């Protein structure tokens, strides 16, 4: 079987496209990793080779994102859902260590994923403060209300953390900037699953960042975390129980995972290795400054093509907060199948919208080339002109 392939024009939201060169190297490493005679998925996560994979990936991520010494990088099984489910107990334990109180988290809801995260915090017994729910403000998910419209607690001393989703994969909404200066002294937790490493960020502003790898940096099954080292100190289990803070399952307790270098239990070394290959390729191509420039160009081209035919394409997201990763739209004329079937004929794949909202969604993750986006724009222009 050949390791060559025709470059796909694939716009799926995840698991998403990976660079062909990464997959080719990964295929070789799956058979024989660094001359060991074993594949990268067969070696023990606690062996020297397994430990080297973890250390190499941490190193390359820290270099690419300019992660400060105040923060720690680690990996856990799962995806974004595992991440937001693990946040309430972990961040509340950290808050309890500092204050002796359970505290109350605050959630910013701007789409499906932040809504799910808030619901999980509620289910786990943390009674989150909803700072803003854009659907309740605007009647739909498609914008981010101005900070002046947020219900920010006057006294933040009992706010354990603020949680938000930087890019809403389903709804196509992305924060254009960092609006959390109104929460001085409060730890900011960000789900960046679908725009991680798509742009430069100041990691020092965040208490915790989590990102499922399957969008921009790897395969499904691994989540990347970056957390302040100062947040890795917890009270005893007995103290947490007295404060009515549920205990975190041990495999997902952040200090335990960090102490064991992401290998407390069986971390999928092959999946982590693929992340490392992607990180190295990003660095070779000019780092995040270059990748951000390319991503901005891709989004600009596609939005311009769609905006050209307002009688054909409905774009539900306010222009100021349109996602550069997930471009969502519906048809004013024709049916979804008309568009999707015609796109498939052009070998433009993965454009069906999320089942909860329908329509179309073009995900422009890092591995989606500018050439692929130009082909999609040509198709949009053709479809738009014929149906206007």
Quote the number of domains for the chain.
2
Q: Are 124 and 145 in contact (CB under 8 A)?
A: no
- Same domain assignment for residues 293 and 278: no
- Same domain assignment for residues 115 and 216: yes
Is the model's pLDDT at 1 over the cut of 80? no
Single residue among 257, 283, 309 that ends a domain in this structure: 283
- Whether 263 is in a domain gets the answer yes
Give the separation between CA 9 and CA 344, rounded to whole angstroms: 10
Single residue among 231, 265, 283 that ends a domain in this structure: 283
- Looking at residue 33, what is its pLDDT? 96
The pairing of strands 208-212 and 222-228 is: antiparallel
State mean pLDDT over 37-52. Answer: 94
| Per-residue model confidence as pLDDT tens digits over 59-106 | 999 999 999 999 999 999 999 999 999 999 999 999 999 999 999 999
| Per-residue model confidence as pLDDT tens digits over 288-319 | 999 999 999 999 999 999 999 999 999 999 99
The residues that are catalytic are: 113, 191, 215
**What does the block give as tokens for 21?**
């060169």
Is the model's pLDDT at 366 over the cut of 80? yes
| Per-residue model confidence as pLDDT tens digits over 181-201 | 999 999 999 999 999 999 999
Is the model's pLDDT at 243 over the cut of 80? yes
Single residue among 247, 268, 283 that ends a domain in this structure: 283
Give the separation between CA 95 and CA 99, rounded to whole angstroms: 6
- Looking at residue 148, what is its pLDDT? 93
**What does the block give as tokens for 197?**
């490493």
CATH number of the CATH domain containing 346: 3.90.1150.10
Is the model's pLDDT at 285 over the cut of 80? yes
- Whether 14 is in a domain gets the answer no
Average pLDDT of the chain is: 97
Give the separation between CA 156 and CA 225, rounded to whole angstroms: 25
- Looking at residue 99, what is its pLDDT? 98
Q: Are 53 and 40 in contact (CB under 8 A)?
A: yes
- Whether 8 is in a domain gets the answer no
- Looking at residue 333, what is its pLDDT? 83
Q: Are 119 and 140 in contact (CB under 8 A)?
A: no
Q: How far is CA 298 from CA 10, 161, 302, 303, 388, in A?
A: 14, 34, 6, 9, 24
Q: Would the pTM of this model clear 0.85, i.e. be above it?
A: yes
- Looking at residue 241, what is its pLDDT? 98
| Per-residue model confidence as pLDDT tens digits over 195-231 | 999 999 999 999 999 999 999 999 999 999 999 999 9
- Whether 138 is in a domain gets the answer yes
- Looking at residue 340, what is its pLDDT? 97
State mean pLDDT over 226-255. Answer: 98
Which of 181, 210, 216, 186 is closest to 198 using CA atoms?
216
Q: Look up the domain containing 349 and give its range.
A: 287-387
Is the model's pLDDT at 283 over the cut of 80? yes
Q: Are 302 and 380 in contact (CB under 8 A)?
A: yes
- Looking at residue 2, what is its pLDDT? 87
The pairing of strands 71-77 and 222-228 is: antiparallel
Segment (H or E) for 184: none
Give percent of the chain above pLDDT 70. 100
State mean pLDDT over 31-43. Answer: 95
Give the separation between CA 103 and CA 89, rounded to whole angstroms: 11
- Same domain assignment for residues 268 and 303: no
State yes or no: cis peptide before 374, omega within 30 of 0: no
| Per-residue model confidence as pLDDT tens digits over 104-126 | 999 999 999 999 999 999 999 99
Helix (H, G, I), strand (E, B) or coil at 109: strand
Give the separation between CA 194 and CA 166, rounded to whole angstroms: 8
- Whether 324 is in a domain gets the answer yes
Give percent of the chain above pLDDT 90. 97
Between CA 188 and CA 157, with CA 196 as vertex, the angle to 5 degrees is 0
- Same domain assignment for residues 301 and 359: yes
Give the separation between CA 111 and CA 114, rounded to whole angstroms: 6
- Same domain assignment for residues 113 and 256: yes
- Same domain assignment for residues 65 and 199: yes
| Per-residue model confidence as pLDDT tens digits over 315-363 | 999 999 999 999 999 999 888 999 999 999 999 999 999 988 889 999 9
Helix (H, G, I), strand (E, B) or coil at 340: helix
The pairing of strands 167-168 and 173-174 is: antiparallel
- Looking at residue 355, what is its pLDDT? 86
CATH number of the CATH domain containing 106: 3.40.640.10
- Whether 301 is in a domain gets the answer yes
């Amino acid at each position: 079987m050949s390791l060559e392939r025709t470059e796909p024009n694939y716009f799926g939201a995840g698991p998403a496209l990976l660079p062909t060169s990464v997959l080719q190297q990964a295929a070789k490493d799956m058979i024989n990793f660094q001359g060991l005679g074993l594949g990268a998925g067969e070696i023990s996560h606690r062996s020297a080779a397994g430990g080297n994979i973890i250390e190499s990936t941490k190193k390359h991520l820290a270099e690419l994102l300019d992660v400060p010494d105040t923060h720690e990088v680690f990996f856990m099984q799962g995806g974004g859902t595992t991440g937001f489910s693990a946040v309430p107990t972990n961040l509340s334990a950290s808050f309890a260590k500092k204050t002796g109180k359970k505290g109350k988290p605050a959630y910013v809801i701007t789409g499906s994923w932040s809504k799910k995260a808030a619901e999980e915090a509620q289910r786990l017994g943390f009674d989150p403060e909803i700072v803003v729910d854009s659907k309740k403000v605007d009647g739909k998910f498609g914008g981010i209300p101005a900070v002046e419209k947020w219900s920010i607690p006057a006294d933040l001393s009992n706010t354990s953390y603020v949680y938000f989703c930087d890019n809403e994969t389903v709804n196509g909404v992305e924060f254009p900037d960092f609006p959390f200066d109104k929460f001085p002294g409060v730890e900011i937790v960000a789900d960046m699953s679908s725009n991680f490493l798509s742009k430069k960020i100041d990691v020092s502003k965040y208490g915790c960042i989590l990102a499922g790898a399957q969008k921009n940096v790897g395969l499904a099954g691994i989540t990347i975390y970056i957390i302040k080292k100062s947040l890795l100190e917890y009270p005893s289990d007995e103290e947490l129980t007295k404060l009515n803070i549920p205990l975190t399952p041990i495999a997902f307790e952040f200090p335990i995972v960090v102490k064991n270098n992401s290998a407390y239990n069986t971390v999928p070394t092959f999946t982590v290795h693929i992340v490392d290959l992607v990180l190295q390729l990003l660095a070779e191509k000019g780092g995040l400054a270059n990748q951000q420039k390319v991503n901005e160009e891709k989004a600009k081209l596609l939005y311009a093509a769609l905006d050209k035919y307002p009688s054909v394409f409905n774009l539900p997201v306010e222009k100021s907060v349109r996602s550069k990763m997930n471009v969502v739209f519906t048809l004013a004329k024709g049916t979804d199948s008309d568009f999707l079937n015609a796109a498939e004929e052009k070998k433009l794949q993965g454009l069906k919208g999320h089942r909860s909202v329908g329509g179309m969604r073009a995900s422009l993750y890092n591995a989606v080339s500018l050439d692929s986006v130009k082909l999609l724009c040509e198709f949009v222009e053709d479809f738009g002109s014929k149906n206007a």
